[in-house]
């Protein structure tokens, strides 16, 4: 009976994992460059912006 080649099996798993990781990175980069998809980047209203004078925006407790 033939013995299993564990080295080959491990290499195949590593190659599959590497390929999957590369595909995820490509998909992430594509999403980053495509505006208007409804992702978390579109929700900029939740983040307060700094005022033109360079002072930090007032927190919710300071506004009240």
Q: What is the CA angle 15-31-20, rounded to 5?
A: 10
pTM: 0.46
If DSSP codes are grouped into helix, strand and coil, which group holds residue 39?
Answer: coil
Helix, strand, coil percent values for the chain (each to nearest 5): 60, 0, 40
Summarised one tens digit per residue, pLDDT across range 20-61 is: 999 999 999 999 888 765 555 555 555 556 556 666 666 666
Distance CA 59, CA 64 (A): 9
Summarised one tens digit per residue, pLDDT across range 49-60 is: 655 666 666 666
Q: Can you read off the two tokens belonging to residue 1?
A: 């009976």
CA atoms within 13 A on the CB side of 14: 6
| pLDDT recorded at residue 51 | 56
């Amino acid at each position: 009976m033939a013995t299993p080649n564990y080295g080959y099996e491990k290499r195949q798993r590593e190659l599959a994992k590497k390929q999957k990781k590369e595909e995820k990175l490509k998909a992430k980069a594509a999403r980053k460059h495509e505006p208007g998809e409804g992702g978390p980047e579109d929700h900029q209203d939740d983040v307060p912006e700094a005022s033109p004078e360079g002072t930090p925006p007032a927190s919710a407790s300071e506004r009240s």
